[in-house]
Chain A
Amino acid sequence: MVSTKRGRDTIHGYLFILPVVLGLLIFTIGPVIASFYISFTKYPILRSPEWIGVRNYVNMVSREPYFWQAVKVTVIYALTAVPLGIVGGFFLALLLNQRIKGMPFFRASFYMPTIVPAVASAVLWGWLLNPDYGLFNAGLKAMGLPTSRFLGDPSSALGSLVLMSLWGVGGGMIIYLAGLQGIPETFYEAAKIDGASSRQLFRFITLPLMTPTLFFGLVMGLIGAFQYFTEAFILTSGGPLFATYFYSLMVYERAFRFTQMGMAAAMAWFLLVIVLVLTLLVFRSSALWVFYETEVK
C-alpha cells in the first residue's frame, strides 16, 4: 500500500513539475551543452560549425583587441555600482525603518524609479546628462561648479552609468527593509535592558542579523552587473573610445553583428566561469561575515 502511494506520488510529482523539467531541458540544459560545443567551433551561422579546438578561447584572450577592455569595464562597473548600491540601499532602508509621519510617501518615492522600464530610463537619463542642455549641467552651472561631458567623455562615461544605476537603489532598499522588519523586536528590548547603546544595537544586532540579506543583495547584484546591457547599448553603444564597452555588448556584437557564433559562445562561457568563480568566492567568504541564526546555540 505504502509503495503504491509512493509510486503514485512520483508520477504525480513529475507530472506537476513536467513544464519546468521540459523547460530546463529545452531552454537551459540543452542550450548550455550546445553552447559549450559551439565555443570550440568556427560557426558563421549560415554554414555548419567547424571544429577548431580551443582556438576561440586562445584568440579571445590574446588577439581580440577589446576583450580585456570589456572585462575591465565590466569589473570596474561591478566593483563600484554594486557596493555603492548596497550601501545606499541599506542606508535608505535604515532611514525608512523609522516610525515617522509621511513614511509611505518616502518609501514610494525611493522605490518608484526601479519600476521605470530600462529603455525609458535610458532615454530620460540621456537627456538629463546631455552635456549642453541637460539638467545636471544646468544645476552644476547654477551652483558655480565645473560641468561635465558625462556620457560624451571617455573619462566620465562609465561613472555616469554608475550614477544612473544608483537611481535604482530602491530595489535593494525594499529587500533590506523587509530584512530589517524580520528582526525580532525582543532582541532589541533584551539588549536595551542590558543597557546597550543605540550604536551597540546596530553593531551587535542589526548588522549581524542583516548579513544574510546583504549577502543575497551582493550575489544578485554581482550577477546582474556582469550582464549589464540595455542602458549602455542605448546610450553609448560601448563608446566613447570603448570606455563603456561592457562584456554583454561585446558578446552581442560578436554574435549578432559579426555572426561569429563560435567566438560569441566562447565569450559567453568565459563570462559563466567568471560569474561562477565570483559567486563561489562570495559564498566562501560568507562564512567569515554572514551570520546564520542556526549558529546560535
Chain B
Amino acid sequence: MVEGREIHLGLGDIRFNRPKQSLFILLIYLVLFVGALVFLLPLFWLITTSLKTNAEVYVFPPTFIPETFRWQNFPDGWFYQGMNFSRWLLNTVFITVTVTVGAIISSSLCAYGFARIKFPGRDLWFLLVLASIMLPGAVTLIPLYIMYARIGWLGTFYPLTVPAFFGGGAFNIFLLRQFFTTIPVELEEAAILDGAGRFRIWWQIILPLTKPALATIAVFTFQGVWNDFYGPLIFLTNPDTYTLALGISFFRGLYNTEIPLMMAMSFLMVVPTLIAFFFAQRLMIRGVVLSGIKA
C-alpha cells in the first residue's frame, strides 16, 4: 500500500473528500473550531499558568492572560533549591541520543535481514518480534530488575540504553521492514553482480534510500525515550541520575504548591517534542500510514 508519492505526505496534504452542501460545511467548521479550541486549551493553560505569579493562579475567575508576565518563573524553577534540572536535562539528552542511535542501527540491520534475505526460521523470529509488542512489560520487568541489581546496573543508565542496541524496538523493526520491502530488488541484484556483500548493500544502498523512514523511527524513538517515565522510575535510584520526566514528578511530589514553576518546567519539557512535531510532522504521519495496519 505504500507508494513513492506518500513520502511527502503531511497533515495537510492527504487526499480530501469534498462536501457538497454549504450548510454542512458550516456545521463541520463549527464542530472543528470548537473542538480545536477545547483540545488546545489545556496547552494554552500550561503556558499561561507558567507565566503567572504565585498569587494570580488562585484568583477567581481565573485570568486567561497573566496580569504581568513573570518570565522569572523559568530560571526560578530551573534552579530551584534541591532540584537539578541542568543535570536532568543532560541525563535525558544522553539517554535519548544513545537509545535513538542504537535503535536506528540495530533495527535497520534486523529489518534488512527480515525484509531481504530468505532463510529458515526467519518468519518464526519475525512473529516473535511482533508478539513481543503485545507482551505486558510487567512480565519481564521483575527478572530484569533482579538481573540488573545482580550485575550492578541499578542506578546507572545501562538498563535504559543497552537494550536499544539489541533490536531497537519491535515497532521500529516492523516499520523499517515494511519500508525495505518496497525498494526494488533489482537495485540489490545489480550490486550483488558487482560483487557487493550484504553488509555493503545495507550500508550503501538500503540506508541512503530509506533516510525518510530512518528519520521517522528516529523521531518516534526520541519521543518515546524523552517521555518515558516508567523505566527511569524503576531503574534510576539516585536523584543525580534522574531524567526530566522523573525530576518533574519528583519536584511535584515535594513542592506541589509551586504551581507556576511546575508549569514552567513541564512546558520546557514539552518544547522539544513540539519542535520535533513541527519539523517532522510529515515523517510522523507517514510513519503511521506506513505502519500499514492492513499488512
Query: From residue B188, how far is it (CB to closest CB) to chain A in Å?
Result: 13
Within 8 A of B (CB), among A106-157: 106-113, 115-128, 133, 135, 138, 141-142
Query: From residue B76, how far is it (CB to closest CB) to chain A in Å?
Result: 16
Could you say which of B67-75, B79-87, B209-217, B273-281 contacts chain A? B273-281
B161-179: contact bitstring with A at CB < 8 Å (1 yes, 0 no)? Answer: 0010111100001000000
- Interface pair B132/A142, CB less than 8 Å apart: no
- Interface pair B139/A35, CB less than 8 Å apart: yes
Which residues from chain A contact B119 at a C-beta distance below 8 Å? Answer: 6, 9-10, 12-14
Which residues from chain B contact A29 at a C-beta distance below 8 Å? Answer: 128
Which residues from chain B contact A30 at a C-beta distance below 8 Å? Answer: 143
Q: Known contacts A108-B11, A138-B60; decide if A9 and B117 are in contact (CB<8 Å).
A: yes
Interface residues on B, range: 35 or more
Within 8 A of A (CB), among B249-295: 249, 252, 259, 262-263, 266-267, 269-270, 273-274, 276-277, 281, 285, 288-289, 291, 293-294
The B interface, classified by DSSP as helix, strand, loop or mixed, is helix
- Interface pair B35/A100, CB less than 8 Å apart: no
Picked from A109, A124, A178, the residue with its CB within 8 Å of the CB of B293 is: A178
Asked if A286 is at the interface (CB within 8 A of a chain B CB), the reply is no
- Interface pair B167/A23, CB less than 8 Å apart: yes
- Chain B residue with Cβ nearest A99: B16
Q: Known contacts A95-B28, A105-B36, A125-B42; decide if A31 and B144 are in contact (CB<8 Å).
A: yes
What separation, in Å, do the CA atoms of A92 and B147 have in the docked complex? 45
- Interface pair B270/A269, CB less than 8 Å apart: no
Picked from A45, A115, A264, the residue with its CB within 8 Å of the CB of B274 is: A115
- Interface pair A117/B269, CB less than 8 Å apart: yes
Q: Known contacts A99-B19, A117-B269, A179-B293; decide if A16 and B112 are in contact (CB<8 Å).
A: yes
B118, B163, B167, B263: which has the most chain A beta carbons within 10 Å?
A: B167
**Count the A-B residue pairs with Cβ separation under 8 angstroms: how many?**
287
Asked if A177 is at the interface (CB within 8 A of a chain B CB), the reply is yes
Asked if B65 is at the interface (CB within 8 A of a chain A CB), the reply is no
- Interface pair B135/A28, CB less than 8 Å apart: yes
Asked if A69 is at the interface (CB within 8 A of a chain B CB), the reply is no
Q: Known contacts A31-B143, A123-B252; decide if A116 and B273 are in contact (CB<8 Å).
A: yes
What separation, in Å, do the CA atoms of A135 and B60 have in the docked complex? 10
Q: Known contacts A98-B17, A272-B139; decide if A103 and B45 are in contact (CB<8 Å).
A: no
Which residues from chain A contact B281 at a C-beta distance below 8 Å? Answer: 108
Q: Known contacts A24-B128, A124-B46, A255-B145; decide if A178 and B289 are in contact (CB<8 Å).
A: yes
Asked if B229 is at the interface (CB within 8 A of a chain A CB), the reply is yes
Which residues from chain A contact B134 at a C-beta distance below 8 Å? Answer: 219, 223, 275, 279
Asked if B138 is at the interface (CB within 8 A of a chain A CB), the reply is yes
Picked from B14, B62, B140, B245, the residue with its CB within 8 Å of the CB of A133 is: B62
B1-21: contact bitstring with A at CB < 8 Å (1 yes, 0 no)? Answer: 100000000111011111100
What separation, in Å, do the CA atoms of A227 and B137 have in the docked complex? 8
The A interface, classified by DSSP as helix, strand, loop or mixed, is helix
- Interface pair A271/B138, CB less than 8 Å apart: yes
What separation, in Å, do the CA atoms of A142 and B18 have in the docked complex? 39
- Interface pair B293/A24, CB less than 8 Å apart: no
- Interface pair B42/A124, CB less than 8 Å apart: yes
Q: Known contacts A17-B110, A227-B137; decide if A38 and B142 are in contact (CB<8 Å).
A: yes
Q: Known contacts A255-B141, A268-B138; decide if A175 and B252 are in contact (CB<8 Å).
A: no
What separation, in Å, do the CA atoms of A6 and B122 have in the docked complex? 13
Q: Known contacts A16-B202, A108-B281, A118-B229; decide if A212 and B12 are in contact (CB<8 Å).
A: no
Picked from B120, B129, B173, B245, the residue with its CB within 8 Å of the CB of A10 is: B120
Could you list some 30 contacts between A and B, CB below 8 A? A9-B119, A16-B202, A20-B106, A23-B106, A23-B167, A27-B166, A28-B140, A35-B142, A38-B143, A98-B25, A100-B29, A106-B35, A108-B11, A108-B281, A109-B39, A116-B43, A117-B269, A120-B248, A122-B249, A123-B249, A123-B266, A124-B45, A127-B49, A178-B289, A181-B289, A212-B294, A229-B230, A256-B145, A256-B234, A275-B134
B residues neighboring A (CB under 8 Å): 1, 10-12, 14-19, 25, 28-29, 31-32, 35-36, 39-43, 45-46, 49, 57-58, 60-62, 106-107, 109-110, 112-114, 117-122, 125, 128-129, 132, 134-147, 149, 163, 165-168, 173, 198, 202, 223, 226-227, 229-230, 233-234, 245-246, 248-249, 252, 259, 262-263, 266-267, 269-270, 273-274, 276-277, 281, 285, 288-289, 291, 293-294
Shortest Cβ-Cβ A-B pairs, 10 listed: A23-B166, A16-B113, A99-B16, A104-B12, A13-B119, A20-B167, A23-B167, A34-B143, A31-B140, A109-B36
